[in-house]
Amino acid sequence: MPQKALRAFLLFVMLVLSMQPVAADTESRARYMGTSIFTMPTAYTRSAAAYINDAGHSAMMVSQEFMNKFFEVSFLRHMNGSEKGKNPLSVKIKLLEEGDALPAVVWGASDINTQLGSKIFYFATSKTIEAFGVNIHGGFYKHPVTTDRKYFYGFEKMVFPLITVGAERSDDVDTFGVKLSPYPGVSLEIAQRDRREEMYNIIYFRSF
């Protein structure tokens, strides 16, 4: 399929998915909707494999970008807890490429195979400020119960060549953490949500 036709098809799918009804859900569903800051999505597409331990809940996530970073598909496998065996698929579609002045913008849909009850739709934007070594992210998603907009935002700042600090805020809850890069393409992440929930992520970034 030609690239322009494929892009038109993907945008059509995006429109159709957006018209689907939502169902009752939990707050934890609005996490890991694709490659992210810590839990909330960025507007960057990546190819990555990740192990996630979020307050004792273990999961594996594999993300793959396609068509020169135009879109990303992610598969999240829950390895324990009540969600074990329910493995949602998510997609990001790039609406705007990052430029000198403009941020990157994506539209995304989480759990498009309705493994956990309903789809979650979001927009995310990201901007890199190279002079300061900072990445800024923000966006909103439609709450699966109330359909209200829920906003999230965060940043990442490189403090040493192999060390990055980051923070994000979603649903009035703050997450702070540190990312270590001991080897090219590898990120070890330690974070704390709401000053009580510990998170540990091991991520391998590569095209595969």
Residue ranges of domains in the chain = 3-153
Residue ranges for the chain with pLDDT beneath 50: 13, 15-25, 208
Structure confidence at residue 12 (pLDDT): 52
Residue carrying the six token digits 């990001």: 92
Residue carrying the six token digits 């990303």: 72
Structure confidence at residue 27 (pLDDT): 64
Structure confidence at residue 147 (pLDDT): 82
What span, in angstroms and rounded, lies between the C-alpha atoms of 153 and 127? Answer: 12
Phi-psi region of 9 (alpha: psi -120 to 50; beta: other; left: phi over 0): alpha
Tokens representing 200 are 């540990």
Structure confidence at residue 22 (pLDDT): 36
Structure confidence at residue 29 (pLDDT): 79
Structure confidence at residue 23 (pLDDT): 36
Give which of 73, 63, 31, 35 is closest to 175, Cα–Cα. 31
Structure confidence at residue 145 (pLDDT): 77
Structure confidence at residue 10 (pLDDT): 54
What span, in angstroms and rounded, lies between the C-alpha atoms of 70 and 52? Answer: 25
Biggest CA pair distance of the chain: 50
Structure confidence at residue 70 (pLDDT): 92
Structure confidence at residue 2 (pLDDT): 62
Structure confidence at residue 24 (pLDDT): 35
Q: What angle do CA 204, 89, 42 make, to 5 degrees?
A: 55
What span, in angstroms and rounded, lies between the C-alpha atoms of 47 and 64? Answer: 4
